[in-house]
Amino acid sequence: MEKKSNGRGSEDGSRAATGGLGKLPRGPRDEDHDARWVEARMAAARGAAGMDLPHLGGERVPHAAARGNIEGLTGWAQVPLGLAGPLELDGSAGRRSVYVPMATTEGALVASTSRGMAMLAAGGGAYARVTRSELSQHPMLVYGSVEAALAAAREAKASEERFRGIVAGITAHGALARVETQVLGRRLLLRLLFTTGDAIGINMAAHGAELCSRDLAERTGAVERFVHGQDVEKRANARALVEGRGRSAVADVVVPRPFLIEKARTTPEAMVRVMRTYAVGFAHLGTQNWTIQAANTLSAVFLACGQDVAYVTECATGLLDFDVTDSGDLHASVTLPSLLVGTVGGGSGQGTARECLQILGCEGAGQANTFAEIVAATVLAGDLSLVAAFASHEFVEAHEALGRNRPGT
C-alpha cells in the first residue's frame, strides 16, 4: 500500500530524507544483553556522536567533577541506558536523524519509544519547534492593606527597567524580560520572567527574584516578603499548562493509515477513540497532564542527559491531540508548555550526560532549543506507540514479553 506524506519529508517517509541513521542492531531476546550486541550498539552510538564515549562504556567520572552537584559524595548510581530510534526530526536547526538515549528500569519503554519513532518516520518525521523560552519566578510581598498592595503593583510595573539593571548586575547570560503583577488581597504576587540562554537558569532567576523583590519591598513598605511566595517549582500546577515555564515546545506528524494497519495493527479511528475516552477521564481527574506517558519518556531522557529529574512534575504538563485527516491518516500533535531543560550548566556537562548530549548533537551552548524539540518529538513517539498498543489491546502482552524480570529465562 502506498504511504502518504505529511508534506515535510520524502513521499515515502523514508529516513533517506534526512540522511538518517540506520536501525540499531538487536539480538534475539535471550541474547540481546550479551556483550557482542551491547558493543554493536555502543559502536552505533560512537558513530552518532563522532567520538569515543568512555563513560557510557563504564569509565568512572573523577570525584571532583561532582563538586557543586552533590554533597557527601559516596559513589555513582547506575541506571541501565538504551538508545531509542532513530528519531527523524524537522527542527528549528534543520532536519536531523538521531538516536535518543533513555535511562530507565522500565522494561518495554525503549522498545515502545522506538516503535513510535518508526511511526514518525513513516510520516516523514516529526515537525517540532520551541515557541517560547522564558523562566518565571513568583515572589510574593505582603502589605498592610489592599490599597498598599495595589500601589506596590503600580510601582513594580514602573520599576521594570530598574529591575533589568539589577539582574544585569548578576549575570551575563540571562536577562529579565518583563514584570507581571497580581494582587491577591493584601498580597502582591510578582511574576518575573527571565531569559536564560541555554541553561535552565534556576539559580540565576532565583537570585534575580530575591534582589528585585527586596528592592521593591524596601521602597514600598512591605510587611513581609517571600522569594518563593507562589512556589511553582517542581510541582504540577495550572500555570504550567496555561502560561508555560522554561521552554514551550510543540511537535506533530501525520502517520499514514496503511502503516498503522500493517505495523501497529490498528487504525486512526481506533486511536482517536482511545484519546476521547482518555479526555473524559482527564476531565474527571482535573489533571494538567493530558498526555499519556510523558512523565515516563521525560524522566528517561532527563536521567540520560543530565537534567534535573524533579522537574518532570512540571514538564509532563501538556496536551496530546489526535485526529483523522481527510485522507484517512492520523494527525498527532503534542504541546509541552513547560520544558525545563538545558544543555549547559547543572549536570549536563560531564560524564555520561555529556556523552548522551553528544550522541544527540546537543552538547553545549546554542543547543537547548534543539534539545527541547527532540524531547517533544520523543514524547510524541512514546504516546503514539502506547495509544496504538491500547487500541490493538497489545499493551499487556508487550509488557509481559519485555517488561518483566525473569532470571534464568
Question: What is the Cα–Cα distance from 120 to 122, expressed in whole angstroms?
Answer: 5
Q: Which of 269, 308, 321, 394 is catalytic?
A: 308
Cα 223–Cα 228–Cα 234 angle in degrees, nearest 5? 165
3-state secondary structure of 367: coil
33 is catalytic: no
The set of cell numbers assigned to 149 is 498592595
Cα 259–Cα 17–Cα 321 angle in degrees, nearest 5? 50
From 114, 90, 121, 112, select the one nearest 100 (Cα to Cα).
Answer: 114
φ, ψ (nearest 5 deg) of residue 248: -100, 130
Question: What is the Cα–Cα distance from 69 to 46, expressed in whole angstroms?
Answer: 27
Q: Are strands 330-339 and 246-255 parallel, antiparallel or unpaired?
A: antiparallel
262 is catalytic: no
Question: What is the Cα–Cα distance from 48 to 20, expressed in whole angstroms?
Answer: 10
CA distance to 106, 162, 165, 178, 290, per residue, from 189 (Å): 41, 18, 21, 14, 28
Q: Which of 55, 228, 331, 399 is catalytic?
A: 399
- Residue whose grid cell is 513510535: 116
State the first-to-last Cα distance of the chain, in angstroms, to the nearest integer: 39
Cα 44–Cα 46–Cα 49 angle in degrees, nearest 5? 110
308 is catalytic: yes
Would you name the residues annotated as active-site residues? Answer: 106, 308, 399
